[in-house]
A and B are shown apart, each in its own frame.
Chain A
Amino acid sequence: MNPNRRQFLHASVASMALAAASGNAFAKSGKSHPHVVVVGAGWGGATCAKYLRLWDPGIQVTLIEPNPHFISCPMSNWVVGGFQDFDYLVKSYDNLPRYGIQMLQDLVIGVDADKQVVRTRGGRRIRYDRLVLAPGMEWMTETVEGYEDGAKAQKVMHAFRAGPETLLLRKQLEAMPDGGVFIIASPPRPGRCVSGPYERACAAAHYFKQHKPKSKIIMLDGDIDIVSKGPMFKAAWKEFYPGMIEHRPNNLAMGFDHREMVVRTEFEDVKGDVVNIIPPQRAPRLCKDVGVRNDALDRWCGIDFVTYESTSVPKVHVIGDPVLSNMPKSAHVSNNQAKICAAALIEILNDRQPLPTPVIGSTSYSITSDHTSGSIAVVMRYDPAKKAYIRQPEGGANTRHSELDFAYGRAWHENMWADTLG
């Protein structure tokens, strides 16, 4: 039997077992179990699948993800700085089936929205009552001339999806001579984890300070300033790494020559020994194919903020990084959107009205060394009249890093993992 066929049979048996196990709910409502298919088992998708089952075992949930393991972007700068091994970022999906979630290791290649069917690379066709797309981000590498050739030659990487590129960056920093130049080029908002590049500069600086103190970090920033935790980062750089990090705002990377190791911006050519370019991002191709990547710039997915249902394709919901909104694109927010979406789906699938006024919290911790962090925290409440999530007073970043924030940030990570995958 070919492996796909075997997996499919396995999934069917699991689904029958599931139907038998939740027979009570079946008897109560007198209808078959609605089926929600979730695409992508990252921070958003895995959380959504888990909470759907936790809150309504009468719903059948299939979670589709090509990767055998979960790899965390949060904390991946710890690996860049050498404070943690890569293995620390890797977690198992093994607990999710215990909630009655059917996990399929496969890649979704298309959706027939009118027939409510998902198509996979493994040849499956899976029918859904509701579809949740949580596929993360796609990198617009074509906007930086020469990036793709440089990446093939392993002379540049973004390392903004944790994996082999995280390790490649770490290896190159280790191989860099003392006195070398490390370039981090980052895009303007909106994008994944806007504080990530500055956190990365801290992680690298911490390593350089101990092992290669004559080295320099040049940040070519496509944004007008450090827009998240700016005062906190600047104070930390001055205190811990004076003279080491040079931040050049309004300086978007437009090209890269990997033979010369030169990054070209609108204003200058800058030569580096290690080059990390983070291109701008957009919702992945799949979102475009399905018709949910629908904003004027063809980058993001417009959604209803109560249900996370696409504004253009019925019964298809989108959560996490691809969403068009003023919410930060972070693991914390993806995880919380997943819960709001799960709660709304449960109401919809039980013929009730979803809650009209969701409230979401947003937080991120950024390390500034191997023992200090800064934080940002804000609550946003959905206002139906304004059709927007409104930031509540007092939210924002702290201006000083601290050891206490470092300890809490670490706990955040452990608790997030448990909440998403545990």
Chain B
Amino acid sequence: MTKQSPLAAAVLACLSMAGPTQAEDLHIKVIAATCVNCHGQGGQSLGAVPSLAGQDVAYLQTAMLEQRSGVRETTVMRRYMNGYTDTEIAKLAEHFSRLK
């Protein structure tokens, strides 16, 4: 990177102290980006895989938990959901429910 003024450096120093919430948000944002390969850009699917955008948050969370436990029959989602924690699943449900 190029040279910085002392002020800019000070501002940057503050920015670099990303709090735990910010880090967690980023963690979820990146995971969510790996879901859209199948579920479509912005959670809007162009084919048979269901769209996630704007669905009810509780519905999404329950669906994911039931897919993980096998209560819901799935093709790929049981294998997928076993890779994520309960907290991640709750946050992913929030993330996709907020998209339009």
- Chain A residues proximal to chain B, CB less than 8 Å: 29-32, 34, 51, 55, 129, 332, 335-336, 339-340, 343, 347, 349-353, 355, 357-361, 363, 375, 377-381, 392-396, 398, 402, 404-405, 407-408, 410-412, 414-416, 418-419, 422
B84 touches A359 (CB 8 A): yes
Chain B contacts for A29, CB-based, 8 A: 8, 11-12
B36 touches A415 (CB 8 A): yes
Which of A361, A405, A411 lies in contact with B34, CB distance below 8 A?
A: A361
For the complex of A and B, the 8 pairs showing the least CB-CB separation, nearest first, are: A379-B83, A411-B47, A30-B8, A392-B83, A394-B82, A407-B48, A377-B79, A414-B46
Chain B contacts for A360, CB-based, 8 A: 34
Q: How distant is the Cα of A375 from the Cα of B33 in the complex, in angstroms? A: 20
Chain B contact residue count (CB 8 A cutoff): 42
List residues 30-62 of chain B with CB under 8 A from any CB of chain A.
Answer: 30-31, 33-41, 45-49
A405 touches B75 (CB 8 A): yes
A419 touches B30 (CB 8 A): no
**Least Cβ distance of B72 to chain A in Å?**
14
State whether A408 and B76 are in contact (beta carbons under 8 Å apart), knowing that A31-B2, A359-B31, A378-B83 are contacts in the complex.
Answer: yes
A355 touches B26 (CB 8 A): yes
Q: How distant is the Cα of A386 from the Cα of B72 in the complex, in angstroms? A: 34
State whether A340 and B30 are in contact (beta carbons under 8 Å apart), knowing that A30-B5, A335-B37, A415-B45 are contacts in the complex.
Answer: yes
B76 touches A363 (CB 8 A): yes
State whether A412 and B49 are in contact (beta carbons under 8 Å apart), knowing that A51-B33, A359-B84, A395-B82 are contacts in the complex.
Answer: yes
B75 touches A404 (CB 8 A): yes
Which of B18, B39, B83 lies in contact with A359, CB distance below 8 A?
A: B83
**Least Cβ distance of A88 to chain B in Å?**
14
16 pairs, CB–CB < 8 Å, chain A vs chain B: A31-B4, A336-B37, A340-B30, A358-B30, A375-B76, A377-B80, A379-B79, A379-B83, A393-B82, A404-B75, A408-B49, A411-B45, A412-B38, A412-B47, A412-B49, A416-B37
State whether A415 and B40 are in contact (beta carbons under 8 Å apart), knowing that A358-B30, A392-B82 are contacts in the complex.
Answer: yes
A30 touches B48 (CB 8 A): no
Chain A contacts for B27, CB-based, 8 A: 355, 357, 359
State whether A379 and B84 are in contact (beta carbons under 8 Å apart), knowing that A336-B34, A336-B37, A418-B41 are contacts in the complex.
Answer: yes
Interface check B71, CB cutoff 8 A:
no
A415 touches B83 (CB 8 A): no
Q: How distant is the Cα of A406 from the Cα of B62 in the complex, in angstroms? A: 26
Which of A336, A340, A352, A380 lies in contact with B83, CB distance below 8 A?
A: A380
- Chain B residues proximal to chain A, CB less than 8 Å: 1-5, 7-8, 11-13, 15-16, 18, 23, 26-27, 29-31, 33-41, 45-49, 75-76, 78-80, 82-84, 88
Query: Which residue of the partner chain B has the closest CB to A336?
Result: B34
Chain B contacts for A416, CB-based, 8 A: 37
Q: How distant is the Cα of A200 from the Cα of B84 in the complex, in angstroms? A: 33
Q: How distant is the Cα of A405 from the Cα of B49 in the complex, in angstroms? A: 10
B80 touches A379 (CB 8 A): yes
A352 touches B80 (CB 8 A): no
Residue among B1, B3, B26, B47 with the highest chain A CB neighbour number at 10 A: B1
**Least Cβ distance of A303 to chain B in Å?**
17
A411 touches B7 (CB 8 A): no
Q: How distant is the Cα of A192 from the Cα of B94 in the complex, in angstroms? A: 36
Chain B contacts for A31, CB-based, 8 A: 1-4, 8
B49 touches A339 (CB 8 A): no
Q: How distant is the Cα of A394 from the Cα of B2 in the complex, in angstroms? A: 47
Query: Which residue of the partner chain A has the closest CB to B41?
Result: A418
Chain B contacts for A407, CB-based, 8 A: 47-48
Chain A contacts for B18, CB-based, 8 A: 352-353
Q: How distant is the Cα of A414 from the Cα of B41 in the complex, in angstroms? A: 10
Known: A336-B33, A379-B79; 16 extra A-B contacts, CB below 8 A, are A30-B7, A34-B1, A335-B37, A336-B34, A340-B30, A347-B26, A349-B1, A353-B18, A358-B30, A359-B30, A359-B84, A361-B35, A379-B83, A381-B83, A411-B49, A414-B46
State whether A411 and B76 are in contact (beta carbons under 8 Å apart), knowing that A336-B37, A419-B37 are contacts in the complex.
Answer: no
**Least Cβ distance of A396 to chain B in Å?**
7
Query: Which residue of the partner chain A has the closest CB to B4?
Result: A31
B79 touches A411 (CB 8 A): no
**Least Cβ distance of B31 to chain A in Å?**
6
Q: How distant is the Cα of A375 from the Cα of B34 in the complex, in angstroms? A: 17
**Least Cβ distance of A319 to chain B in Å?**
14
Q: How distant is the Cα of A353 from the Cα of B34 in the complex, in angstroms? A: 21
**Least Cβ distance of B8 to chain A in Å?**
4
Chain A contacts for B29, CB-based, 8 A: 55, 343
Q: How distant is the Cα of A109 from the Cα of B2 in the complex, in angstroms? A: 26
